[in-house]
């Protein structure tokens, strides 16, 4: 399948933060391995003048999702800590890029980049109709961002060569992939994108 990129397209890079990388507080196995491929996507979209959105968990120290507060996760991506920073090799363009912080309030959790953020309004005011989503983790924030996009009326493309899952339960990532596809997501890889905007 070939997909021709247009001015109606945007890239969403989900949660490529150090705490989600090997050695981090909540590591996604081989999460760092997709950085080079995501960089290729970022450079492609940037070269065409298409917007690139970087989502990030941006938790307060006592966030509701943490085990100490009754949540299910160890503390991770606490605001302004090293673990909350993006992977140092991730390419962040100097212009036409947006940092989307989520789950930054103590009592509000968010897996989707659309929950409690300005992402939808930023996309709409730019006339974006299609979003291309990659990052971590397939079975949590990637899945929920993709499903959120579909629910808001966007066409969603999943970058299958630019995602990694955490698989808390064996098979979680594959189940997440099937759920996204059954809801209408289109799976693509870099070689299928035309670079004529």
For 113-172, strand residue ranges (E) read 130-136, 155-164
Q: Is the pLDDT of residue 194 over 90?
A: no
Are the beta carbons of 145 and 55 closer than 8 angstroms? yes
Confidence class of residue 1 from pLDDT cuts 50, 70 and 90? confident
Using CA atoms, how far apart are residues 32 and 16, in angstroms rounded to an integer? 8
pLDDT of residue 122: 98
- The neighbouring-strand residues paired with 131 are 10, 156
More confident residue, 138 or 1: 138
pLDDT digits (tens, 9 = 90+) for 55-106: 999 999 999 999 999 989 999 999 999 999 999 999 999 999 999 999 999 9
pLDDT digits (tens, 9 = 90+) for 133-168: 999 999 999 999 999 999 999 999 999 999 999 999
DSSP state of 138: I
CATH architecture of 3-194: 3-Layer(aba) Sandwich (3.40)
- C-alpha distances in angstroms, 152 versus 25, 57, 121, 149, 171? 32, 21, 11, 5, 27
Domain boundaries, the chain: 3-194
pLDDT digits (tens, 9 = 90+) for 115-136: 999 999 999 999 999 999 999 9
Q: How many residues does the chain have?
A: 197
Using CA atoms, how far apart are residues 71 and 34, in angstroms rounded to an integer? 28
pLDDT digits (tens, 9 = 90+) for 3-62: 999 999 999 999 999 999 999 999 999 999 999 999 999 999 999 999 999 999 999 999
pTM value is 0.97
Catalytic residues: 15, 102, 141
pLDDT of residue 196: 60
Q: Is the pLDDT of residue 197 over 60?
A: no
Are the beta carbons of 5 and 193 closer than 8 angstroms? yes
Which element (helix H / strand E) includes 86? Answer: none
């Amino acid at each position: 399948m070939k997909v021709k990129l247009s001015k109606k397209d945007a890239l969403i890079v989900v949660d490529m933060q150090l705490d989600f990388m090997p050695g981090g507080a909540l590591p996604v196995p081989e999460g760092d391995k997709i950085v080079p491929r995501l960089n290729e996507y970022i450079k492609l979209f940037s070269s065409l003048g298409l917007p690139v959105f970087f989502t990030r968990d941006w938790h307060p120290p006592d966030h509701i999702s943490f085990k100490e507060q009754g949540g299910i996760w160890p503390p991770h991506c606490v605001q302004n800590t090293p673990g909350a920073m993006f992977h140092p090799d991730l390419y962040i363009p100097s212009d036409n890029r947006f940092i989307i912080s989520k789950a930054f309030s103590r009592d509000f959790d968010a897996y989707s980049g659309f929950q409690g953020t300005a992402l939808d309004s930023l996309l709409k005011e730019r006339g974006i109709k299609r979003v291309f989503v990659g990052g971590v983790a397939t079975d949590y924030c990637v899945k929920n961002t993709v499903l959120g996009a579909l629910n808001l009326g966007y066409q969603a493309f999943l970058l299958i060569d630019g995602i990694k899952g955490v698989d808390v339960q064996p098979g979680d990532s594959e189940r997440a992939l099937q759920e996204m596809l059954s809801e209408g997501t289109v799976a693509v890889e870099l070689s299928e994108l035309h670079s004529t905007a």
